Chain A
């Protein structure tokens, strides 16, 4: 086949299926009354309000959305294929690039999944540190969600204010683990390093000034007439529909379903801390926004409790040393002890080897239920590793929420679902 003919065939195929879907085969061009014409609008993948590279095809009747088709895959990097070809330890940095707004909780999730598959126990102090960084990541993610949603509907200031707080957080992350964005902080069997005393003190200082900043934001938009008019009543989804569409996380709790894995299937030490599961019953963009807003306050509570525990606890090791065949040794020991050097050599070459079997581990990530399904064949590389990404399944509700609403509401709805395309596209 000649080159140009192939390209023509490819171009036709590429366009035909999606066009057929959006047109529903019944588009009739009527020119008697120009107002009766349907229009197909291609929103994204390069659109600032789609939070990344989400492409949404909209079929419009005037300003009303008749049909809405989200198209994913513009950021597909094949992480599941990469995982099958790398050791478990090597895959941890890739999880930073999933939900790049809250890499710390992704690191914790993958390490918990590997630990469950391999039966590795984690020292108590490391678990408290993991909880602390998970909640910091949740605050970071929800701050971004609040700011971006507000900016999408026109309130620019909130975005700047929440980003100021996130900037301070990134400075703290840098001091916790050495990286601002791609943290890779958790390790199989613990965390990379303990948190220094002065950093813990500064986390506390930051947490203490956050309520005032939050109140400023809340005073600015939460009862603002323009903001509430844009958000309340748009993107409505009832609880039964939200469950049927497989929503999780804040998006589901905004429809009045109190499902929070931290409470329902407590992992780490979430059963030992006090917090409330926030729900709102309206199921619209505004209630999802409020749920995220109030969850920041709950996360602050959990952070304070974790810091109390960590400060009262002796500085014991934060990496498991009961299973030397599965856990990468600490650097100081590799350089001074022969056994650890051999062990490190074996682990880097062959990896952690969980017994044969299939396990699924999920955590309540800021976006929803983030799960890892590991199929182990007994070797150091997973036979299959499936990422259950909350962003992609939450986006499935976009079609239901957007159809019948105005075209300008679509940006508010995408903002209230809070997808991160790095995670949705894997």
Chain B
């Protein structure tokens, strides 16, 4: 039996009351609160109706606005149902913390590292939250770490933020 969008929404709403639904060009997106995030993800993965067992990707969106500036997006896929779903959660500018989903899917390890590297969102409980692409010392002259995909990071980069190795 094919998995309908209504089934997915029902499963998610059973564990978290505050779930809003967005549909655009046939893509289903659930927007949840950070407190419910892990419950919803666990339920979507383990419920026999949905079985979203493959985590495709995690990324963030910088909306460049005060307050809930970032949104972290989880891309889920179900092998049994050939269904797709996105789960979004807002992150406040002053508290860039989310619980890690490494315990739900192991694949989240690198995806969360990449999101941290590019947006500076800290995933609490992540086993190895290092930079992914950029060097560990990617910071400006005051020692503030730089996150390149944030909207306030200039396209041309910041001169001097990536020092060359010392000459012999």
Contacts and interface: CB of A to CB of B under 8 A. Distances in A.
Asked whether A and B interact, the reply is yes
Interface of A: 4, 6-7, 9-11, 13-14, 17-18, 21, 72-73, 76, 78, 80-82, 84-85, 116-117, 119, 241, 243-246, 248, 257, 259, 264-265, 357-360, 362, 369, 371, 373, 375, 383-384, 386, 388, 392-393, 396, 425-426
Given A14-B135, A73-B134, A384-B61, A244 B107 contact: yes
A21 B110 contact: no
B85 to A, nearest CB: 10
Given A373-B57, A375-B61, A10 B132 contact: no
A119 B133 CA distance: 34
A241 B54 CA distance: 11
CB-based closest 7 A-B pairs: A246-B107, A73-B133, A357-B24, A76-B133, A264-B82, A386-B59, A10-B137
Given A10-B137, A243-B79, A245-B107, A388 B57 contact: yes
Contacts of B25: 116-117, 119, 357, 359
A396 B107 contact: yes
B61 A78 contact: no
Contacts of B57: 371, 373, 386, 388, 393
Contact of A257 (B79, B107, B163): B79
B100 interface: no
Interface string B141-155: 000000011000101
B121 to A, nearest CB: 14
B133 A426 contact: yes
Nearest to A424: B133
B130 A21 contact: yes
Contacts of B166: 4, 7, 11
Contacts of B163: 6-7, 10
B130 A17 contact: yes
A55 to B, nearest CB: 12
B5 interface: no
Interface in B9-49: 22, 24-25, 27, 29
A81 B136 CA distance: 19
Contacts of B155: 81-82, 85
B133 A360 contact: no
B136 A259 contact: no
Nearest to A259: B79
A20 B106 CA distance: 21
Contact of A393 (B22, B53, B107): B107
Contacts of B79: 243, 257, 259
A276 to B, nearest CB: 18
B1 to A, nearest CB: 16
B56 interface: yes
A78 B156 CA distance: 11
A244 B75 CA distance: 14
29 contacts: A4-B166, A9-B137, A10-B137, A11-B166, A14-B137, A17-B130, A17-B136, A21-B128, A73-B131, A76-B134, A78-B148, A80-B118, A84-B149, A246-B105, A248-B56, A257-B79, A264-B82, A265-B84, A358-B86, A359-B24, A359-B25, A360-B27, A360-B75, A373-B73, A388-B75, A392-B114, A396-B107, A425-B133, A426-B133
Nearest to A356: B24
Contact of A360 (B61, B82, B84, B118): B84
Contacts of A78: 148
A426 to B, nearest CB: 7
Residue of A9, A18, A82, A396 with most chain B CB atoms under a 10 A cut-off: A396
A426 B110 CA distance: 14
Given A7-B166, A117-B25, A373 B59 contact: yes
B55 interface: yes
A11 B25 CA distance: 48
Contact of B110 (A17, A362, A392): A392
Nearest to A354: B25
A371 B73 CA distance: 14
B142 to A, nearest CB: 10
Contacts of B107: 244-246, 393, 396
A243 B24 contact: no
Contacts of A21: 128, 130
A362 B149 CA distance: 22
Contacts of B75: 360, 371, 373, 388
B62 interface: yes
A21 B56 CA distance: 26
A347 to B, nearest CB: 21
Contact of A358 (B27, B135, B148): B27
